[in-house]
Amino acid sequence: MSADEDPGPPSPRPRLRVAVVGAGPAGIYTAEALTRQQEVPVAVDLIDRLPTPFGLVRHGIAPDHPKMRAIRDTLHRALDHPAVRFVGNVEIGRDLSCRELHAAVDAVVYTYGAALDRQLGIPGEELPGSLAATALVAWYTGHPDADRATVEAALARARSVVVVGVGNVALDVARVLARTPAELESTDMPQHVLDALAAAPVEQVTVLGRRGPAQATFTTQELRELGELAEADVLVDPADLELDAAAEERVAADRVVARNLAVLREWAGHTARPGRATVTLRFFTRPVRLLGEDRVAGVEVERTVVDADGRASGTGETTVLPADLVVRSVGYRGGELPELPLDPRAGTVPHDLGRVLRGGAPSPGEYVAGWIKRGPTGVVGTNKHDARETVATLLADVAAGVVRPGGVSGDDDLVTTLRANGADPVLLEDWRAIDAAEVALGATRGRARTTLHEWESLLAAVREAAARAR
């Protein structure tokens, strides 16, 4: 170019093309962190296996917690950002391999969560009538992959329920099972879920903590709610609330533990009122085996003691609790994605500040955030900080030249590639059609929304809206 030639407008800075795999809170906060930074222009494809966004906000947070579920309105703002494209109904590993995905974008952030359940590892765990909390939660939140037949068969005879674990999921399950139909009527649960819960003969729910109340992982608001059920009384053995020196130390050091103990003490010594269901919190008790011939009939439990380090061990003192339904609520676990490393013990992808490690070495352009990065802990908001850390790592790699915006060779659009592969991506306007169909379905019964729970009905809502638009 000669000196007097017009250089024209400066060429636009190439955009950093990022695919985020998993449109739950971690994925959405990752997209948000990417769009909020000023260092490099971005284009984000937010991919999900389901045709719906929000992950555990939709299929984890209990439907009788509408205020918590309302966080989806805040999360939606990130989906609405012009630099973000929701690409639902696409499974990485099925519709597109990790390798193909990497070839199509400059960087990939995996935020696909921890969808599997942890096992108890005790005899009888696989008997009919023994459910993972993940299965029950998927069912009552209308997840399209929920195993309706198994859950509904177990619920139909569930007079005595034992829930194993004292985390917030265990309390969600206990509460939902102990609620009356009137208490659940206004939720977005699918109608068949409301009907099955109304028909379930639940009389007593026993929640088992293998350690003491000072080690329980539930939080106070969730605990307190158990005491506010319309037709169920919450029971605690006062002896379980007598603390040893180590437990006292925990109470002194942790405000949540102290508040939990205060709530539990209000209930200590309560007795069940006639004609009402009971929710019993039983600590220092661990399941040893599930009993029953062809289905669960009881749980053999063992009394435990907790040492100064907070470890539980059995005392040999056993007893049998009657149970028609056992719900194992002992935590989630991350699963493997083909071609992505996974630490099978932790159920997380090995990483350094969110940068995926392969054979211990950083793998440029591959990142993780959320539960698949740190394990299944924390509340929705915890993912915001977590996602920011990962995005800061990605931006550092861009600054260092390890990841180059516009570095991908082809300019094939990801959605075009997916369609060429035979996939049927659901985009933001399609999700809006599902959203509208759920609101319309809810309105037929005077509810704000009813969750569409089948793949077919979700995708039909998309097709019907597209047909109307033509």
Annotated binding-site ranges for FAD: 26, 56, 92, 371
Q: Does 22 bind ligand NAP (CB under 6 A)?
A: no
Q: Does 220 bind ligand NAP (CB under 6 A)?
A: no
Q: Provide the CA 433 distance to its chain's centre, in angstroms.
A: 24
Using CB atoms within 10 A of its CB, is residue 66 exposed (0-12), middle (13-18) or buried (19+)? Answer: middle
* DSSP of 90-126: --BTTTB-HHHHHHHSSEEEE-----EEPP---TTTT
Q: Please choose, out of 100-108, 177-185, 187-195, 374-382, the segment that lies near ligand NAP by the rule CB under 6 A.
A: 374-382
Q: Does 282 bind ligand NAP (CB under 6 A)?
A: no
- Using CB atoms, what's the residue nearest to ligand NAP? 167
Q: Does 63 bind ligand NAP (CB under 6 A)?
A: no
Backbone phi and psi for residue 262, each to the nearest 5 degrees, phi listed first: -65, -40
* Among 88, 129, 165, 347, contact with ligand NAP (rule: CB under 6 A): 165
| 128 or 378: CB nearest ligand NAP | 378
Q: Please choose, out of 92-100, 181-189, 208-216, 431-439, the segment that lies near ligand NAP by the rule CB under 6 A.
A: 208-216
Q: Which residues from 320-349 bind ligand NAP, rule CB under 6 A?
A: 329-332
Closest contact distance (angstroms) between CB of 442 and ligand NAP is 23
| 379 or 440: CB nearest ligand NAP | 379
Residue 407 in contact with residue 103, Cβ under 8 Å?
Answer: no
Q: Does 96 bind ligand NAP (CB under 6 A)?
A: no
Closest contact distance (angstroms) between CB of 406 and ligand NAP is 38
Distance CA 7, CA 3 (A): 9
Q: Does 57 bind ligand NAP (CB under 6 A)?
A: no
* Structure tokens that stand for 144 in this block: 């399209």
Q: Does 24 bind ligand NAP (CB under 6 A)?
A: no
Distance CA 299, CA 41 (A): 57
416 contacts: CB under 8 Å, gap ≥ 6: none
Residues in the chain: 470
Closest contact distance (angstroms) between CB of 188 and ligand NAP is 16
Provide the 3-class DSSP secondary structure of residue 326.
Answer: strand
Which amino acids are annotated as binding site for NADP(+), given as ranges?
210-211, 222, 378
Q: Please choose, out of 199-207, 215-223, 405-413, 439-447, the segment that lies near ligand NAP by the rule CB under 6 A.
A: 215-223
Q: Does 387 bind ligand NAP (CB under 6 A)?
A: no
Q: Does 416 bind ligand NAP (CB under 6 A)?
A: no
Distance CA 70, CA 102 (A): 34
Backbone phi and psi for residue 313, each to the nearest 5 degrees, phi listed first: -140, 155
Which amino acids are annotated as binding site, given as ranges?
26, 56, 92, 210-211, 222, 371, 378
Closest contact distance (angstroms) between CB of 285 and ligand NAP is 9
Q: Does 304 bind ligand NAP (CB under 6 A)?
A: no
* Structure tokens that stand for 98 in this block: 């990790």
Closest contact distance (angstroms) between CB of 148 and ligand NAP is 22
Q: Does 377 bind ligand NAP (CB under 6 A)?
A: yes
Helix axes 133-140, 191-199, angle to 10 degrees: 120
Q: Which residues from 112-131 bind ligand NAP, rule CB under 6 A?
A: 120
Distance CA 141, CA 146 (A): 9
Give the C-alpha distances (Å, rounded to integers) separating 449 from 59, 76, 353, 445.
14, 16, 39, 9
Closest contact distance (angstroms) between CB of 290 and ligand NAP is 12
Burial 83-113 (b: 16+ CB within 10 A, else e): ebbbbbbbebbebbebeebbebbbbbbbbbb
Closest contact distance (angstroms) between CB of 462 and ligand NAP is 30
* Among 41, 335, 362, 378, contact with ligand NAP (rule: CB under 6 A): 378
* Among 215, 260, 280, 393, contact with ligand NAP (rule: CB under 6 A): 215
CB half-sphere exposure, 35, CA atoms < 13 A: 21
Provide the 3-class DSSP secondary structure of residue 470.
Answer: coil
* Among 379, 436, 440, 448, contact with ligand NAP (rule: CB under 6 A): 379
Which one, of 174, 255, 160, lies nearest residue 209 by Cα? 174
Q: Does 166 bind ligand NAP (CB under 6 A)?
A: yes
Residue 395 in contact with residue 389, Cβ under 8 Å?
Answer: no
Distance CA 244, CA 265 (A): 16
Distance CA 366, CA 361 (A): 12
Q: Does 170 bind ligand NAP (CB under 6 A)?
A: yes
| 114 or 459: CB nearest ligand NAP | 114
**Residue 103 forms beta bridges with which residues?**
none
Q: Does 164 bind ligand NAP (CB under 6 A)?
A: yes
Q: Does 75 bind ligand NAP (CB under 6 A)?
A: no
**Residues binding ligand NAP (CB under 6 A):** 120, 164-170, 172, 209-211, 215, 217, 219, 222, 286, 329-332, 376-379
